[in-house]
Amino acid sequence: MKKDLPQNIVEDVGIAVVLMNDTPEQASWSVYLVNYKTDKLEHVLVSSKGYGEKDGKMVKTSVLRHSLRDVDPQSFAVIEAIDPAVFGLTNEYLLSFYIDGTIYDKKFIFLPESIIDVNLMHIPLLNKPGVMIK
């Protein structure tokens, strides 16, 4: 049964954890959906959660669900603000959207300690530093 379903491969779409401002008082971070496609992403839904071990105990964050509606081609949409305190956890984003009536979905996983200064890169459409998974 599952083998009979089409494989709707998600390409040219990324999730980026972006450094919004880096002041001496505190850095602020946000998570963005980045659409590099030439197609509009319609009815976009994203669920996010964090999990892993912290201070020797297993922890889980709340599951958050976000409706982004439509995301135009070559653009981006903010998903959520993210606290650096959860960078030590696995941060998972499940993305679902439609293009021309066909549903696509993909899971993006930021592993513990992957959101660090050495992994920062320039995020083209946002013109800010961040860590992105495509």
pLDDT at 1 over 70: no
Dump pLDDT digits (tens) for 28-59: 999 999 999 999 999 999 999 999 998 899 99
* 132 belongs to a structural domain: no
pTM metric for this prediction: 0.92
CATH of the domain at 80: 2.60.40.10
123: left (phi over 0), alpha (psi -120 to 50) or beta: beta
List CB contacts of 93: < 8 A, sequence separation 6 or more. 15, 31, 46, 47, 48, 79, 107, 108, 109, 110
Dump pLDDT digits (tens) for 74-133: 999 999 999 999 999 999 999 999 999 999 999 999 999 899 989 999 999 999 999 999
Indicate the average pLDDT of the chain: 93
Dump pLDDT digits (tens) for 5-32: 677 899 999 999 999 987 656 789 999 9
* 130 belongs to a structural domain: no
* 74 belongs to a structural domain: yes
Q: For residues 40 and 70, is the Cβ–Cβ distance under 8 A?
A: yes
Structurally, how many domains does the chain consist of? Answer: 1
* 133 belongs to a structural domain: no
The boundaries of the domain holding residue 99 are 2-119
